[in-house]
Amino acid sequence: MMSRPVTRWTGRIAALLVVAFGLSACGINAVPTQDEQVKAAWSEVLNQYQRRADLIPNLVNTVKGYAKQEQTVLREVTEARARATQMTLPADILSNPQAFHQFEQNQAAISGALGRLLAVSEAYPDLKSNQNFLVLQSQLEGTENRIAVARKDYIDAVQTYNTTLRTIPTRWVAAIFYPDAKPRETFTISEKAQQAPEVKF
**3-state secondary structure (DSSP) of residue 91:** coil
Within 8 A by CB and 6+ apart from 111, the residues are: 144, 193, 194, 195, 196
* Residue ranges in the chain assigned as alpha helix (H): 4-25, 30-66, 71-86, 97-120, 125-128, 131-166, 170-177, 191-194
CA atoms lying within 13 Å on the CB side of residue 124: 20
Q: How far apart are CA 17 and CA 14, in angstroms?
A: 5
Nearest to 93 by CA among 46, 161, 33, 30: 46
Is a pLDDT exceeding 80 seen at residue 103? yes
Q: How far apart are CA 98 and CA 24, in angstroms?
A: 35
Taking only the tens place, the pLDDT of each residue in 180-197 is: 999 999 998 655 554 544
pLDDT at residue 21, rounded to an integer: 52
Q: How far apart are CA 38 and CA 100, in angstroms?
A: 14
Total tally of structural domains belonging to the chain: 1
Neighbours of 66 (CB within 10 A): 16
Tell me the whole-structure pTM to 2 decimals.
0.81
Residue 7 lies in a domain: no
- With beta carbons less than 8 A apart as the criterion, state whether 118 and 144 touch: no
Is a pLDDT exceeding 90 seen at residue 163? yes
Residue 166 lies in a domain: yes
pLDDT at residue 188, rounded to an integer: 86
Taking only the tens place, the pLDDT of each residue in 43-101 is: 999 999 999 999 999 999 999 999 888 999 999 999 999 999 999 999 999 999 999 99
Residue 82 lies in a domain: yes
Residue 110 lies in a domain: yes
Provide the domain limits for residue 172: 28-194
Residue 1 lies in a domain: no
- With beta carbons less than 8 A apart as the criterion, state whether 194 and 148 touch: yes
Residue 22 lies in a domain: no
Taking only the tens place, the pLDDT of each residue in 17-38 is: 555 555 555 578 999 999 999 9
190: phi then psi, degrees, rounded to nearest 5:
-65, 155
Q: What is the CATH classification number for the domain harbouring 170?
A: 1.20.1440.20
pLDDT > 90: what percent of the chain? 71
Residue 11 lies in a domain: no
Nearest to 181 by CA among 2, 15, 38: 38
Residue 10 lies in a domain: no
